């Protein structure tokens, strides 16, 4: 679980730090601080993986290296 990239950014709209896990579609969390957003993202990742496994879906392998966006 610790090998997935997590992108943390400030959202003016939400007035919170958002933590996005791009390799796990829809897996996001938020918090008042970077640390809180990261902790919530780790909880969300656990729930995402548990849900996928219980539904019989494959949990993707974390990619090595940074993701690239165009």
Q: Is residue 67 part of a domain?
A: no
Q: Is residue 68 part of a domain?
A: no
Identify the band that residue 3 occupies on the pLDDT scale cut at 50, 70 and 90.
confident
pLDDT of residue 1: 59
Q: How many domains does the chain have?
A: 1
Closest CA to 3 of 70, 69, 66, 68: 66
Q: DSSP class of residue 28?
A: E
CA separation for the pair 53, 2 (Å, rounded): 18
Per residue in 10-66, pLDDT tens?
A: 999 999 999 999 999 999 999 999 999 999 999 999 999 999 999 999 888 888 666
Higher per-residue confidence, 1 vs 33 = 33
Q: Is residue 12 part of a domain?
A: yes
Q: Is residue 69 part of a domain?
A: no
Q: Is residue 27 part of a domain?
A: yes
CB-based contacts of 9, cutoff 8 Å, min separation 6:
17, 18, 20
Q: What domain range is 20 assigned to?
A: 7-54
What is the pLDDT averaged over residues 5-13?
Answer: 96
Q: Is residue 66 part of a domain?
A: no
Q: DSSP class of residue 65?
A: S
Q: Is residue 48 part of a domain?
A: yes
pLDDT of residue 20: 97
């Amino acid at each position: 679980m610790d090998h997935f990239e997590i992108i943390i950014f400030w959202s003016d709209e939400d007035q919170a730090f958002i933590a996005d896990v791009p390799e796990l579609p829809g897996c996001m969390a938020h918090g008042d601080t970077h640390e809180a957003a990261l902790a919530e993202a780790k909880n969300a990742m656990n729930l995402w993986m548990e849900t996928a496994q219980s539904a019989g879906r494959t949990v993707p392998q974390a990619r090595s290296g940074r993701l690239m966006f165009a």
